Amino acid sequence: MWQEIDRVLISREEIAARLEDLAGTIASELAGGELLVIGVLKGAVIFLADLVRKLPFPVEIDFLAVSSYGKSSVSSGVVRITKDLDYDITGRRVLLVEDIVDTGLTLNYLLGHLKSRQPQLLKVCVLLDKPERRKVPVQVDYVGFTIPDEFVVGYGLDYAGRYRNLPDICVLKREVYQAPRA
């Protein structure tokens, strides 16, 4: 079924438990005003869907899409917005939700883009942080898990577009994404 998977790194139960804490923190810090939750397509979709359902007040949802990785497992370093927000965020309280911060290039670019529209508040929540891979320092306010430098898929994260629907966060077998040695 999931033949290219090496092992589970973070189980669905661990994710669910961590989301309770994360949502509790976010709820206590960001309650008391309208909140717009922005997800970054496509990786953040599953995380955002679970997270917002744990917040005890109504929020609005919007999405942005960027292209950077394409089908490669290595970042091209070039970030481009392929779908912008539907809402105007000027003067609004915003929570940006990402599945993973790796080099930081995507988040760094997006934060610049969003800040230029002058939201009243801009907070960042990422499920996974891979600090070893960081190329640019980036603002992250809420982190689910800090993970080692391994290629992970599942719970929204893909390899070549696949595995987003895997319920656990798993490590892919190396031979899947590494070309065999010549």
Residues involved in catalysis: 102
Could you tell which of Mn ion, ligand PRP, Mg ion, none binds residue 103, using a CB distance below 5 to 8 A set by kind? ligand PRP
Task: Rule CB under 6 A: choose which of 35, 48, 98, 163 binds ligand PRP.
Answer: 98
Cα(28)–Cα(74) distance, rounded to whole angstroms?
37
Q: Would you give the binding string for ligand PRP spanning residues 20-59, x where CB under 6 A is met?
A: --------------------xxxx----------------
Binding interface with Mg ion (CB under 5 A): 158
In 3D, which of 63, 52, 59 has the Cα closest to residue 23? 52
104 binds Mn ion (CB under 5 A): no
160-165 contact pairs (CB < 8 A, 24+): 160/71, 161/71, 163/2, 163/5, 164/42, 164/43, 164/45, 164/46, 165/46
Closest separation in Å from C-beta 42 to Mn ion = 7
Residues lying near ligand PRP in the complex (CB under 6 A): 40-43, 68-69, 75, 98-107, 158
